[in-house]
Amino acid sequence: MTAMNVIDADFSPLLRVSRISKRFGRTSALADVDLDVPRGSFTCLVGPSGCGKTTLLRCICGLETVDTGRIVCAGRDITDLSPSARQMGLVFQSYALFPNLNVTRNVAYGVPRTLGRREIERKVDALLEAVGLSGYGARRPEELSGGQQQRVAIARALAPEPSLLLLDEPLSALDAQLRLQVRAELQSLQKRLGVTTVMVTHDQAEALAVADRIAVMKEGLVVQAGSPFDLYYRPADRFVAGFLGRMNFLSAKAQAPGCVQLASGEAVGVDTEGLAAGVAVDLGIRPEDVVLSPEAANDGTCLGLRVLRREFVGAMMRLEAVHVGCDAVLALDVPARLGRTIGEGAEIEVLLPAARLHVFPAGQV
């Protein structure tokens, strides 16, 4: 296993979701979900389509009632409160701005009516400045780009000073380049305001980039939650390992203590704690951890591979290569200038460094 000293953010949960479940007829959308959202954090919910991300968000803000379980926010049990009593800011994929109202009036819609007119104006100005849209107040939504519209929606959601900002795939309607830009803006806005935020995304790269905490969901369950580093370097299972980034898997069998054997025969030294001899395992290694043309005396396992294809990704070249002995295909990342010199069909030697190997129960995904 990769050793990484990860210091988690100050962990006092603002929101605590305990064992909530939700069914729609025969579909179990959430099955005993636990989730802690640290105060001030930018938490991302990730997982494949249909795993329950939107349902969890809707349960948190009260648009959906839960079948069982409790939701506590800022020390208060909010499970049975109406959405408005929960005071949460919501932004969905479609911006849902009022098309006939200008930007100022869209944002003012979120400001509590109890404030005086001057105060509302001041507040709207401050919010527009916070999202980088000062001077756009008179425009109508149709006169703004998708990214700008989404920022108006965020300003409107922030207007009531919500305890929690909930975003459901807020960037997915934007094209690739705009998406990168708006996500960077969103991240810095969140840090500046310090508002506790939960964002749903199905884009793992987006989650790794912006979140300081990630919860990975699968089939109505949170399977692992932690810092992006934790999840990337210490994935709890194959599903998390393969969902956040890419990981290669090789079938093997536990042999002696501290040693497993690949299907192709090589002995590999790894931590086998708790594994009886003969137990099937999957060894995992990330493409960037596979070492090309290793020097002698490195601690790890050498394999002979044949390159099947190359993919130029700019900074590096990703090679897909097959293990000559057992047909397993591995992806490895090498510097692009080096990768250029390795053609399809080339025979290469690689090292799997012992410290970079992960051991998972076999077959479980």
Ligand X SMILES: Nc1ncnc2c1ncn2[C@@H]1O[C@H](COP(=O)(O)OP(=O)(O)O)[C@@H](O)[C@H]1O
Closer Cβ to ligand X, 53 or 156, answer by number: 53
State in angstroms the smallest separation of the CB of 64 from ligand X.
8
Of 52-60, 157-165, 204-212, 281-289, the segment contacting ligand X by CB under 6 A is 52-60
Dump the DSSP string for 20-51: EEEEETTEEEEEEEEEEEETT-EEEEE-STTS
Yes or no: say if 256 and 268 are a contact pair by the CB < 8 Å rule.
no
Minimal distance, residue 201 CB to ligand X, in Å: 10
In the bound state with ligand X, the residue whose beta carbon lies nearer, of 12 and 27, is 27
- The residues near 333 (Cβ < 8 Å, ≥ 6 apart) are 287, 288, 290, 313, 316, 317, 318, 319
Residue 184 Cβ, how far from ligand X at the closest point, in Å?
24
Q: In the range 172-231, which residues lie near ligand X by CB under 6 A?
A: none
Q: Which of the ranges 45-53, 97-105, 267-275, 292-300 carries the binding residues for ligand X, by CB under 6 A? A: 45-53
Identify which of 7, 37, 16 has the alpha carbon closest to the alpha carbon of residue 213: 37
What's the token pair of residue 317?
A: 């070249």
How far is CA 61 from each of CA 94, 186, 201, 220, rounded to the nearest angstrom? 18, 20, 17, 17
Instruction: State in angstroms the smallest separation of the CB of 58 from ligand X.
Output: 8
Q: How far apart are alpha carbons 154 and 128 in whole angstroms?
A: 10
CB neighbours of residue 169 within 10 Å = 19
Q: Does 11 bind ligand X (CB under 6 A)?
A: no
State the residues that interact with Mg ion by CB under 5 A: 54
Query: Which one of 52, 235, 287, 339 is in contact with ligand X (CB under 6 A)?
Result: 52
Residue 29, interface with ligand X (CB under 6 A)? Answer: yes
**Per CB under 6 A, does 33 bind ligand X?**
no
Least CB distance from residue 91 to Mg ion, whole Å?
Answer: 13
Q: Which of 43, 54, 150, 190 binds ligand X (CB under 6 A)?
A: 54
Distance (Å, whole) CA 55 – CA 30 = 7
CB atoms within 10 A of CB 322: 14
Residue selected from 15, 44, 51, 144 as contacting ligand X according to rule CB under 6 A: 51
List the alpha helices (DSSP H) in 159-295. Answer: 176-193, 204-210, 228-233, 238-243
93 alpha carbon, distance to own chain's centre: 17
Residue pair 69/17 in contact by the 8 Å Cβ criterion = yes
Shortest spacing between CB 217 and ligand X, in angstroms: 7
| C-beta of 48 vs 99, nearer to ligand X | 48
Residue of 5, 10, 49, 192 interacting with ligand X (CB under 6 A): 49
The closest residue (CB) to Mg ion is 54
Residue 100: contacted member of ligand X, Mg ion, none (CB under 5 to 8 Å, by partner type): none
CA atoms of 294 and 351, how far apart (whole Å):
6
Query: Residue 55 binds what, of ligand X, Mg ion, none (CB under 5 to 8 Å, by partner type)?
Result: ligand X
**Residue spans of alpha helices (H) in the chain:** 53-61, 83-86, 103-108, 117-130, 146-158, 176-193, 204-210, 228-233, 238-243, 336-339
- Give the interface segment with ligand X, choosing from 23-31, 91-99, 316-324, 346-354 (CB under 6 A): 23-31
Nearer to Mg ion, 179 or 323 (CB): 179
Q: Report which DSSP code applies to 202.
A: S
Question: Which of 47, 300 has the CB closer to ligand X?
Answer: 47
**CB closer to Mg ion out of 43 and 248:** 43
Q: How far is the CB of 50 from ligand X (least distance, A)?
A: 4
**Whole-angstrom distance, CA of residue 199 vs CA of residue 179:** 14
Interface residues with ligand X (CB under 6 A) are 24, 27, 29, 47, 49-55
